């Protein structure tokens, strides 16, 4: 299975221009699964709820879902993309999964970070796993990494690959995802953004790049730079994630003791 991510810097608020640029870059992409960053077309550092509402999109009718559905159909691939979603009068920080047959699903970020808590509601759909051929993928968004329960829940649901659109500003996540993969024996694809955003009178945010693909044994198959735009595609065997044996004596999920866990 050919999987990957696109790391880049969107321009704040310019959804159509960002879509044009991203789709132009991906027009000849040849892969089965591609992950794009969190809030990939709107930008991240909102100044007000009105601004979020103005940039939020409905799923599947909004421009980001529609344009990427068209690309997924042309390229016969699946794409995960982060966007600000409005649904039934509520704003969510969401990730949409589109494929050759259309929109397959949406995940709404459960663990909101910092000022996101001012602008978005916590996701109300829980965690979910979707099939792509024989492979099962689960979605997390950025700060969800901080809660090991999120990745564990997806592993228990049978996810082989964690797709992880991100807008990381703190340094720890790329290394922590090695542990999330090791402790669940799953692949992860973290698609982070690069660049800076300084909005209103707020301190500038600098995004750390370092998008990466990690294997079930915790190997970093690829980690991008902190500053450069990069489209990365790798061949993986997702079935490696089905083998939960650490050695002849330890089966990762069988050997849990949930009765002792809170
Ligand atoms: C984050 O959750 N965007 C850090």
pLDDT band at 48 (very low <50, low <70, confident <90, very high): very high
Separation CA 177–CA 188 (nearest Å): 7
Report the mean per-residue pLDDT for the chain. 98
Structure tokens at 194: 């690069």
Q: From ligand 1's centre to the CA of 119, what distance in Å?
A: 13
Residues tagged active-site: 38, 109, 142
User: Using CB atoms within 10 A of its CB, is residue 13 exposed (0-12), middle (13-18) or buried (19+)?
Assistant: middle
- Number of domains making up the chain: 1
Q: Which residues line ligand 1 (CB under 6 A)?
A: 38, 113, 142-143, 167-169
Least Cα distance to 56 among 69, 68, 43, 72 occurs for 43
pLDDT of residue 249: 97
Q: From ligand 1's centre to the CA of 127, what distance in Å?
A: 17
pLDDT of residue 237: 98
**Domain extent for 220:** 2-260
What is the per-residue pLDDT across 113-131, written as a single tens digit (0 to 9) for each? Answer: 999 999 999 999 999 999 9
What is the per-residue pLDDT across 150-184, written as a single tens digit (0 to 9) for each? Answer: 999 999 999 999 999 999 999 999 999 999 999 99
pLDDT of residue 247: 96
Separation CA 102–CA 97 (nearest Å): 9
The number of the ligand 1 atom at minimal distance from the alpha carbon of 166 is: 3
State the pTM of this model. Answer: 0.98
Q: Ligand 1, atom 3: nearest CA belongs to which residue?
A: 167
Residue 3 near residue 32, CB atoms below 8 Å: yes
CATH number at 216 reads 3.60.110.10
Separation CA 18–CA 256 (nearest Å): 44
Q: From ligand 1's centre to the CA of 196, what distance in Å?
A: 14
């Amino acid at each position: 299975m050919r999987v990957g991510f696109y790391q880049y810097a969107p321009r704040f608020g310019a959804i159509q221009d960002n879509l044009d640029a991203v789709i132009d870059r991906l027009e000849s992409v040849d892969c089965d699964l591609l992950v794009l960053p969190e809030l990939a077309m709107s930008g991240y550092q909102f100044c007000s709820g009105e601004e979020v509402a103005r940039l939020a999109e409905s799923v599947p009718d909004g421009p980001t879902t529609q344009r990427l559905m068209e690309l997924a159909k042309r390229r016969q691939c699946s794409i995960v993309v982060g966007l600000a979603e409005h649904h039934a009068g509520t704003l969510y920080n969401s990730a949409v999964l589109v494929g050759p047959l259309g929109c397959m699903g949406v995940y709404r970020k459960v663990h909101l970070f910092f000022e996101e808590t001012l602008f978005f509601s916590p996701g109300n759909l829980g965690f979910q796993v979707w099939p792509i051929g024989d492979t099962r993928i689960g979605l997390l968004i950025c700060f969800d990494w901080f809660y090991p329960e999120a990745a564990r829940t997806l592993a228990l649901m049978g996810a082989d690959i964690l797709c992880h659109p991100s807008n990381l500003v703190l340094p720890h996540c790329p290394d922590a995802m090695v542990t999330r993969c090791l402790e669940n024996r799953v692949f992860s694809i973290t698609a982070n953004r690069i660049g800076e955003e300084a909005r209103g009178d707020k301190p500038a945010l600098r995004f750390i790049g370092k998008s990466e693909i990690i294997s079930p044994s915790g190997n970093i198959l690829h980690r991008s730079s902190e500053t450069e735009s990069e489209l990365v595609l790798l061949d993986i065997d997702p079935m490696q994630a089905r083998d939960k044996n650490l050695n002849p004596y330890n089966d990762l999920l069988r050997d849990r003791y949930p009765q002792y866990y809170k």
